[in-house]
């Protein structure tokens, strides 16, 4: 049983679902029954349904329809709605991806559940010394920003503490988990499922011509452009910070036009703080609605420079060897800095502009692709899970 709830989950699960389909095609006599549960944490079409279609991800058989709320209410509501689903279907494995509220909520339920042994037919479950509950597997485990003001950081730490198997994307994650007392035997370095999904969809994205490149009223982006994404509350909820970041775009855009797909939260605050109109009047700044995965990937692949506060985009730009300026004080993906093309600069305009013009002047770092970011992470995960279940080795 795989859990998805928010946009980043969809992209991570897409490659896992495909790996399961490939496994089943090659093993007709011992197939994996895969049930996807959507919590409904992201519920509008641009943030949810479109991604299932583009990524060719099997439609969820169950949708908890939780919707938006405070962290406490949303987490509690997911737990309430997920428990009866888990008791009804009694999967051998609950597979969790990422660090959203859906991840920790379902980890908490799965860690405390007790199946009825007469209803559950799995030999692996009956032999499990911890009792009749599912194996909890966390994909993208061990990432740490070391900033507990980030809700995602709390979700990561607690999910990892509750999980039986921890699949990591980079070696720093192993150090983090061992420091927190996680036994080495639970941890598997498998690579990055986000990169699996990127590689699967790259050719499809290359054939697209995004609307922003077709509209003659936009600035000339054929000769290069920057791509911007902002959504984190620390960047978009405070008028001073958001204003300063937008001022940076206004300075960069005369030299390099920037395309800025607006997250709903970001657009709302730009309008609320009276900033939106000034951006529309800047000739070099192109504002768009949220984009689907393929259209965004097409823009990302051809970008000259990316400015973002997204974790996943830090990874994707590193793989594509595109310079990325991360507008945060910390990152849970340090390999994108130490090996990749990422620069962690905070939100100070002077530092942002200095880094941007260093890159545009041709003095930026080249970057390399991290180990095991080879498109086979999901395949490794499925092989490990099958081995654990078949051999009852957990």
Over residues 311-339, the pLDDT tens digits come to 999 999 999 999 999 999 999 999 999 99
Picking from 130-144, 301-315, 360-374, which range would have the lowest pLDDT averaged per residue? 130-144
Residue at 352 is within a domain = yes
CATH number for the domain that contains residue 152: 3.40.50.2000
Residue 28 CB contacts under 8 Å (≥ 6 apart), including other chains: none
Residue at 68 is within a domain = yes
Picking from 39-53, 156-170, 196-210, 368-382, which range would have the lowest pLDDT averaged per residue? 39-53
Q: Where are the alpha helices (DSSP H) in 123-263?
A: 123-127, 151-162, 171-179, 193-206, 211-214, 233-236, 239-252
What does the block give as tokens for 5? 């709830």
pLDDT of residue 103: 97
pLDDT of residue 162: 98
Mean pLDDT of 367-388: 97
Give CA–CA dist 247/383, Å, rounded: 49
Picking from 173-182, 221-230, 238-247, 272-281, which range would have the lowest pLDDT averaged per residue? 221-230
| 171 & 227 share domain | no
What does the block give as tokens for 319? 């793989």
| 70 & 164 share domain | yes
Nearest to 328 by CA among 207, 136, 149, 164: 149
Higher pLDDT, residue 105 or 210:
105
| 133 & 57 share domain | yes
- pLDDT tens, 44-103? 655 566 778 888 888 899 999 998 889 999 999 999 999 999 999 999 999 999 999 999
pLDDT of residue 44: 61
**CB 213, CB 222: distance < 8 Å:** yes
Give CA–CA dist 299/329, Å, rounded: 26
Q: Output the average pLDDT for the chain.
A: 91
| 236 & 306 share domain | yes
For the entire predicted model, the pTM comes to: 0.92
Nearest to 33 by CA among 44, 47, 23: 23
Residue at 94 is within a domain = yes
Higher pLDDT, residue 238 or 210:
238
DSSP 30: S
Largest CA distance in the chain: 69
| 330 & 380 share domain | no
Nearest to 133 by CA among 78, 169, 58, 83: 83
> Of 38, 42, 138, 231, which one is the catalytic site residue?
231
Give CA–CA dist 136/95, Å, rounded: 6
Counting the structural domains of the chain, the total is 2
| 75 & 131 share domain | yes
Q: Evaluate if residue 375 carries a pLDDT over 90.
A: yes
pLDDT of residue 117: 64
Residue at 162 is within a domain = yes
**CB 283, CB 203: distance < 8 Å:** no
Residue at 21 is within a domain = yes
Q: Is 128 a catalytic residue?
A: no
Q: Evaluate if residue 219 carries a pLDDT over 80.
A: no
Residue 227 CB contacts under 8 Å (≥ 6 apart), including other chains: 258, 259, 260, 299, 300, 303, 305, 306, 307, 308
pLDDT of residue 6: 85
| 43 & 162 share domain | yes
State the pLDDT confidence band at 390, using cuts at 50, 70 and 90: confident
Residue at 196 is within a domain = no
| 154 & 245 share domain | no
Angle, vertex CA 96, rays to CA 92 and CA 99, nearest 5: 160
Residue at 289 is within a domain = yes
| 207 & 273 share domain | yes
pLDDT of residue 130: 46
Higher pLDDT, residue 12 or 218:
12
Q: Evaluate if residue 152 carries a pLDDT over 50.
A: yes
Q: Evaluate if residue 279 carries a pLDDT over 50.
A: yes
**CB 72, CB 104: distance < 8 Å:** no
What does the block give as tokens for 334? 């340090």
Higher pLDDT, residue 233 or 394:
233
| 177 & 219 share domain | no
pLDDT of residue 178: 98
Determine whether 165 is exposed, middle or buried from the number of CB atoms within 10 Å of its CB (0-12, 13-18, 19+).
buried
Give CA–CA dist 359/351, Å, rounded: 12
Mean pLDDT of 107-112: 97
- pLDDT tens, 204-217? 998 887 666 666 55
| 248 & 384 share domain | no
pLDDT of residue 71: 93
Residue 271 belongs to domain spanning: 201-360
Nearest to 322 by CA among 293, 353, 301: 301
Mean pLDDT of 295-303: 94
| 315 & 387 share domain | no
pLDDT of residue 125: 46
What does the block give as tokens for 347? 């939100």
Residue at 370 is within a domain = no
């Amino acid at each position: 049983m795989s859990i998805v709830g928010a946009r980043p989950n969809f992209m991570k699960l897409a490659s896992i679902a495909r790996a399961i389909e490939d496994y089943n095609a090659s093993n007709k006599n011992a197939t994996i029954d895969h049930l996807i549960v959507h919590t409904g944490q992201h519920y509008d079409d641009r943030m949810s349904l479109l991604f299932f279609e583009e990524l060719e991800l099997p439609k969820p058989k169950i949708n908890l329809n939780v919707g938006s709320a405070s962290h406490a209410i949303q987490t509690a509501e997911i737990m309430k709605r997920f428990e009866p689903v888990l008791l009804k279907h009694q999967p051998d494995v609950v597979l969790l991806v990422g660090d959203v509220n859906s991840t920790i909520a379902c980890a908490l339920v799965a860690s405390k559940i007790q199946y009825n042994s007469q209803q559950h037919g799995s030999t692996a479950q009956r032999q499990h010394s911890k009792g009749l509950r599912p194996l909890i597997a966390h994909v993208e485990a061990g990432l740490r920003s070391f900033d507990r003001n980030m809700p995602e950081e709390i979700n990561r730490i607690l999910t990892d503490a509750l999980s039986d198997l921890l699949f990591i994307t980079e070696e720093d994650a192993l150090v983090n988990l061992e420091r927190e007392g996680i036994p080495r035997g639970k941890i598997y370095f498998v690579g990055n499922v986000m990169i699996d999904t990127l590689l699967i969809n790259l050719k499809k994205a290359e054939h697209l011509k995004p609307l922003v490149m077709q509209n003659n009223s936009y600035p000339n982006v054929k000769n290069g452009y920057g791509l911007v994404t902002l959504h984190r509350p620390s960047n978009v909820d405070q008028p001073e910070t958001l204003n300063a970041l937008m001022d940076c775009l206004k300075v960069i855009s005369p030299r390099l036009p920037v395309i800025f797909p607006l997250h709903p939260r970001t657009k709302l605050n730009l309008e609320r703080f009276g900033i939106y109109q000034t951006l529309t009047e800047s000739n070099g700044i192109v504002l768009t609605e949220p984009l689907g995965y393929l259209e965004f990937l097409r823009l990302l692949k051809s970008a000259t420079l990316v400015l973002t506060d997204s974790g996943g985009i830090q990874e994707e730009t590193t793989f594509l060897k595109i310079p990325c300026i991360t507008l945060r004080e910390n990152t849970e993906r340090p390999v994108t800095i130490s090996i990749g093309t990422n620069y962690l600069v905070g939100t100070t305009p002077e530092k942002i502009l200095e880094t941007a013009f260093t890159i545009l002047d041709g003095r930026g770092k080249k970057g390399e692709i991290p180990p095991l970011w080879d498109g086979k992470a999901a395949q490794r995960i499925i092989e490990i899970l099958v081995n654990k279940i078949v051999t009852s080795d957990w």
